[in-house]
Amino acid sequence: MTVTARAIVTRLRSRALRTTGWRDAAAHQAFLIPIIIVFVVLFLVPLAQSFYWSFTDFNGYSSDVNFVGLANYVKLFTDSSLLAGLTFTLLFAVGITVGVTMIAIPLAVALNKRFFGRNLARSVFFFPAVPSMLVLGLVWAYILSPLDTGALNTVLDKFGGGGPVAWLAATGLARMSVIVVGIWGLAGWHAVLYLAYLQSIPHEYYEAATIDGASGPQQFWKITLPLLTPAIVISQFLLLTHGLKIFDLPFALTGGGPGFATFTITQSIIVTGVSQGHYGLASALAVVFTLTVAVLAISQVTLMRVLERRVT
């Protein structure tokens, strides 16, 4: 084959590879089209509509709509019920994030060890994650009932308790009860998440540390915890987003009470928009809530990635 013929063949092969690569890339991108359409229709379009309605006095039914400027946004930070919903939502999100993490990691370490009935113990701890939060709330509403018929009050009374405790009727106890039930319902699921990462840590690390004389706590702080950083990032992100959008558990346990003590942002949006007919105000709350969640989620992921790079 002459030099000219070889050059022509090489050029044709190169062109064929470029064409094939372009077609492969286009085929891969085509799979994203349905997802992009769903994202635009179900998220971007409603968000844009809510942003528009947040500047109006739209009540959700009438076609008589007036532009009110920033009046709805100003009212968000002066209405006591909306501020109460914001306060408890942040308290719940931080509470379950810290509480679940402090329980799930030691629990996963314990469940990772060999002992009789280990699989049964894993199933027992994972079970609270199976029912929905609404079901858990209804069950715990019976257990924590402030009446004499409440299961917990009955047990306390038999052991000499000082009368029925208002678990869901006092402000502080109601908030604590909702957060504790939330931690109880989520700790097992996140322990399983940590358990999956624990099983991927090479056992040779612990054998070498044992030979060097490292104690159990030292192995946990120097080996286990640093290598669990990716799992911690995922767990923290899921817990924070779950806590910020919580609705079913406080609604089933307390209905938002007593007063507005356990009122959440999502409940505020539903009550303000649907029950009270202030659709514009509810839209403003939804816009602020969405932007707040986005900022917190991006900040958390960025911070955790920085920590993950430093550890690894």
Express each pLDDT in 180-205 by its tens digit. Answer: 999 998 998 999 999 989 988 888 88
Residue 236 falls inside a structural domain: yes
Phi, psi of 202 (to 5 degrees): -60, 135
**312/218 Cα distance (integer angstroms):** 18
pLDDT at 95: 93
CATH number at residue 136: 1.10.3720.10
Residue 34 falls inside a structural domain: no
Domain hosting 136: range is 86-267
Number of separate domains in the chain: 1
Residue 105 falls inside a structural domain: yes
Tell me the range of 80-84, 115-119, 171-175, 307-311 where mean pLDDT is highest: 171-175
Q: Confidence band (pLDDT; 50, 70, 90) for 20? A: low
Residue 134 falls inside a structural domain: yes
Residue 64 falls inside a structural domain: no
Residue 180 falls inside a structural domain: yes
pTM of the model: 0.79
Residue 163 falls inside a structural domain: yes
Residue 151 falls inside a structural domain: yes
